[in-house]
Chains A and B, each alone.
Chain A
Amino acid sequence: MTQPLPDSPAAASPALVFEARGLKKQYDDGCVQALRGVNFRITQGEFVVIIGPSGCGKTTLLQMLGALDVPSAGILHYRDKSIADLPDPSGYRAREIGIIFQAFHLLPTFTAVENVQMPMFETDRPAAMRTERAVELLTSVGLEHRLDHFPSKLSGGEKQRVAIARSLANGPSVLLADEPTGNLDSENAKHILELIIRLRREKNMTLVLVTHDLNIARLASRVIKMKDGLIVADEQTPPPAA
């Protein structure tokens, strides 16, 4: 369901996906300055890790990118359109991006295969095709044997796999992940991370991943370091050996 990409002005370089200029976000009438003027450009297919101490504004930034909240000031564009002024923010969230949360956020009264179908209600896919696609996605994350399990019957790693399958429901071109391994033991965290990276490569998605795990940062093509609502470093990293 990815929209055709608009022709990039510079045909040689990859298309610009996100652009932030002087992006600010404050809460509680300015008592909390979560983002204090952030600038960056993210292009198609990049794997960006955002790293920084707790409370530095990582989640806030991801919320702006996902149109879950609106900036207080500054510019934030998705493919040359202001995210704050999108005519259909729900449609943007449903089709353009996939979101993965630290706490999984599955709906407890729905099975794995039903959870994955939830975003598909915003497309005109008929019921039978929704189920078929959800089964396909769950199979691709290695959960073909857990289709009809409720979240309470799944392990942490399995829950996050369901959440990943759900984020891919409508074939997004951007994946936003907020500490996706934060609630997992190191073994499960490793598998989930490998899964996300594999899916990104297969589907050529742009991935913005928030973490405070330095080991994860080494896998990314670019690391943005944040502190107190500002970007303090933005480095391309050499591709990992092997």
Chain B
Amino acid sequence: MTFFTIVVRGLLRRPVRTGLTLVGISIGIAAVVALVGISRGFEASWATGMKVRGTDIVVSNMGNALAPKPFSSEVRDRIGNLPEVASACSIYADLTSVEDASMMVVSAREWGGFSWQNLKLISGRMPHDAMEPAVVLGQTAAEMLKKKIGDPLQLETKELTVTGIVDGGAMVENGSVILSLALFQNITGNEGRINVIDIRATPGMSEDEVKQLCNKIDAIAPEAKAMVAGEHLGNSQAFRFISAMSWGTSLLAVIVGVLGVMNTMLMTVFERKQEICILLAIGWKPGRVIRMILWESALLGFLGGIVGVIIGTIGVKVLETLPAIHGMLEPDFNAELMGVAVVLSVVVGVLSGLYPAWRSSRLTPSLAMQG
């Protein structure tokens, strides 16, 4: 028998209680894994979206809203004239309800701009020109809106025709309704206004040079902020808010887990008072009793962490298959997140065990003689 056997036996003496505590802590950890995984996945897939469009720099004004603030399309010409800019593409991007779908990315792109190039037709055709009343749908968007080629699509007051379904190579692209910028400006009465400029830097520029270019753009275009593609989402307040919410919710779930473990460990110390006194009476050092309790709670945390990671991962996979969400989640469950979750859970276990362990070490061995 090893010390570890004693620790395990301590948890097994009340299997139901240990099991329930495990469920409690693992739900907390599952929440951490799911929420953080989803929000990080969101960030990552946004970055992939930029990459497939070949965008190096995104110029936009990410305020408090989910969609960026519009500015004059004349900014694009100012930036386009910079020698380091290979090409620029004006965009009007909006998050809005389209027919039955409550949240859709509508991406209106400068006709002929490079941001059309990554779209591969799966079926149908691209619009003939900038003003044809036509849209193309990313394949997920088509599924969500239940549209096929030739179907009408209501956008604001105008009825457009779905002429093509495309594979955009990234989740964000596939979930978008894509149309010509000029057409969109005309429909929405936003002539001369855009809210995003995708920029391709001259090929061969280093990361530092791209960053310097951002500064240069900021100097000539104070209406918006230039950011290296992929990093810009983290600067959006809306995204930061969502991020903070997911961490906050996770934290709450973890605190509930802490209280569960602490309660269990206090109960176990109380229940085993006499046994702990016996151990002290036959020569165990108080430190060994403390270690026994702490190892028990750490093991509880470790097992809860493993189970939590599994529940969280499976939970999000199930969520992904729901029709309402299908194609909108691209969670990022990497080994690092799972490792952090398990470590967090062990830390939670140890912290929750501190007070019960201290209590147990204060018991006097003479109590063993009584009863």
Instruction: Tell me if A95 and B9 are in contact (CB < 8 A).
Output: no
Is residue A181 within 8 Å, beta carbon to beta carbon, of the partner chain?
no
Q: Which one of A77-85, A111-119, A194-202 is at the interface?
A: A111-119
Q: A107-B275, A118-B282 are in contact. Are A130 and B1 (CB under 8 A)?
A: yes
**Cα distance, A8 to B180, chains bound together (Å):** 105
**Cα distance, A94 to B282, chains bound together (Å):** 6
Interface centre among A105, A108, A110, A113 (most CB of B within 10 A): A105
Closest CB of chain B to A196's CB: distance in Å?
A: 17
Q: A109-B9, A127-B1, A131-B1 are in contact. Are A95 and B283 (CB under 8 A)?
A: yes
Instruction: Tell me if A119 and B369 are in contact (CB < 8 A).
Output: no
Closest CB of chain B to A60's CB: distance in Å?
A: 9
Q: Which chain B residue shows the least CB distance to A67?
A: B365
Q: Which chain B residue shows the least CB distance to A170?
A: B283
Instruction: Tell me if B369 and A122 are in contact (CB < 8 A).
Output: no
B286 — which chain A residues lie within 8 A by C-beta?
90
Q: A68-B369, A69-B364, A107-B275 are in contact. Are A127 and B2 (CB under 8 A)?
A: yes
Binary contact readout B1-20 vs A (1 if CB under 8 angstroms, 0 otherwise): 11101100110110000000
Q: Which chain B residue shows the least CB distance to A108?
A: B275
Instruction: Tell me if B9 and A110 are in contact (CB < 8 A).
Output: yes
In the complex, how many residues of chain B place their beta carbon closer than 8 angstroms to a beta carbon of chain A?
27
Q: A62-B369, A68-B368, A178-B369 are in contact. Are A107 and B288 (CB under 8 A)?
A: no
Is residue A63 within 8 Å, beta carbon to beta carbon, of the partner chain?
yes
A130 — which chain B residues lie within 8 A by C-beta?
1
Is residue A221 within 8 Å, beta carbon to beta carbon, of the partner chain?
no
Q: Give 16 CB contacts A-B under 8 Å.
A: A68-B369, A90-B286, A91-B283, A91-B285, A93-B280, A93-B281, A95-B283, A105-B278, A105-B281, A110-B1, A121-B3, A121-B284, A121-B288, A122-B283, A130-B1, A178-B369
Interface residues of A (CB under 8 A from B): 59, 62-63, 66, 68-69, 90-91, 93-95, 99, 101, 103, 105, 107-110, 113-114, 117-119, 121-122, 127, 130-131, 166-167, 169-170, 178
Interface residues of B (CB under 8 A from A): 1-3, 5-6, 9-10, 12-13, 274-275, 278-286, 288, 364-366, 368-369, 371
